Amino acid sequence: MKHIFSFIVLLFVITSCKQSNEDIKIEVKKNETAEVSFYTKDSLKIYGDLFIINKSAPTILLFHQGGANSRGEYNTIVPILKEEGFNVLTIDQRQGGQRFGNYNRTIAEISRNTYGYCDAYPDLEAALEFVKTSNFTGKKIAWGSSYSATLAIKLASENADVIDGVLAFSPASGDPMEGCRPEETLKILKTPLLLLRPAREAAIESVQNQLALAKEYNHETYVAKNGVHGSSMLVEDRVGNSVDENWTVVKAFLGKFKKE
């Protein structure tokens, strides 16, 4: 009996230490950056990076596009968002890869990845829960790129009491998004939305219909003359031209959520 009791005590200590380590990841101080990790409701470990200006400042949740990872897609975008006064949480979703360089830390620990685009939605939910439970008191903005733009719209719609704004860069639709297409969500979304597309995509009939639907339901839209797919329309090296106008539109939208 004594040995059983000792084992229980040891197990408690180990569990407590593990919990303490997770707490350390959460308690990042002002003006610091740290790698973080947390679990989804279906028990998948998600990796990300947390950039803190001040916990009372607004926070942007950045989600990458298909085939990508957070560090690769957003390495030049995060510094600008920080300069604008935003906390930023980026994550590596279960659907991604090595596009734009670096690698997807979450996928690296999945032995056999059979997840589709819609399956990544719990990853976004977990990111929002992480921010909520980490005492970030400022406004919260969801930002998605391609398939994650569609999921960000869904996240904003289902968490209207928490998310104050959403930016959707080239939100994906069609067969790959079966089960979580954005069209029906656009009709019920009440959260302020900025939907962005490059001109080459805006020439496609299905995209024209998506933009028209967004306008019909009073969402903001923007077609970038100089642009490429997803959030990359904000990266000059990927566009091959000036992206100043694109950033002007994005910053104007984000300005609505800055702390007064």
Spans of the chain below 70 pLDDT: 1-31, 259-260
pTM of structure: 0.88
Residue 231 has a pLDDT of 98
* C-alpha 136, offset from chain centre: 16
Residue 86 has a pLDDT of 97
Residue 61 has a pLDDT of 98
Which sequence spans correspond to the domains of the chain? 31-257
CA dihedral 57, 227, 231, 242 (to 10 degrees): -50
Task: Give the integer Cα–Cα distance in Å for 89 and 60.
Answer: 6
SS3 92: strand
SS3 168: strand
Helix (H) / strand (E) containing 78? helix 78-83
Q: What angle do CA 132, 140, 49 make, to 5 degrees?
A: 70
Residue 260 has a pLDDT of 56
User: What CATH number does the domain located at 31-257 have?
Assistant: 3.40.50.1820
Residue 29 has a pLDDT of 57
Residue 10 has a pLDDT of 40
